[in-house]
Amino acid sequence: MSRDNLDRTGSVLGHDWFPRPLPSNISLGERSWLYSSFAFLHYRSRSPQGVVIGHDSGVYNGTFFDLGESGEVLIGNYCTVVGAIFSTRQRVEVHDYAFIAHEVVLADSFAPVPPEGEPVRGGEPVPGERKGIIVGENSWIGARAVLLSGARIGANAIVGAAAVVDFEVPDYAIVAGNPAQFVGWARPEKR
């Protein structure tokens, strides 16, 4: 964990207003920003590395990690996450240079974290069920988009605001709508 943002114990963000330590199984890269331990209010991951945030990335106000016991989130280097909700019992990968806008939901199951005191049912993925969510390198996810299980956002792709995606989006593709549909390409023009 980056010592820049942590106090001497290594488990509390020096700037944090919320009086809880960070979970012991998260990793915050050098020069990365995490707004508060409040982001882990519904965090239940027992994975050795439940959340890994790469270097020079920002995880800002309103972002929540609602992870079930086997849930994992990997956020690459130079990423920006603004108020997203990661709700997973499986794995969500956000590759380098990705941007995830306000109120985006990345959810691979209906309810990865049962209410306090209730038994976990169906904690493991169903055989044949599509697994996890991938956000490719340098891709942009628009405000209030919803990425569901099976979403594979290609490198340099754009997901429009409020789009709902549960399929593979090719590199450089632009998708929008509910349900999301292909609407164009973001390929750089050769001059």
The 10s digit of each residue's pLDDT in 69-127 is 999 999 999 999 999 999 999 999 999 999 999 999 999 876 555 555 555 555 555 55
Quick one: which of 95, 107, 112 has its CA closest to 149? 107
The answer to whether 98 and 135 have CB atoms below 8 angstroms apart is yes
- Reading phi first (left if > 0) and then psi (alpha if -120 to 50, else beta), residue 43 is in beta
Residue 8: per-residue pLDDT: 32
d(CA 44, CA 111): 12
Q: How far apart are the first and last CA of the chain?
A: 44
The answer to whether 131 and 148 have CB atoms below 8 angstroms apart is no
Residue 96: per-residue pLDDT: 98
26-115+125-185: CATH number: 2.160.10.10
CB atoms within 10 A of CB 191: 3
d(CA 66, CA 24): 16
Residue 126: per-residue pLDDT: 54
Quick one: which of 44, 61, 53, 22 has its CA closest to 123? 44
pTM of the model: 0.86
3-state secondary structure 97-130: CCEECCCCEEECCCCCCCCCCCCCCCCCCCCCCC
Residue 129: per-residue pLDDT: 55
Question: So where are the chain's domains?
Answer: 26-115+125-185
- Strand-pairing partners, residue 88, are 67
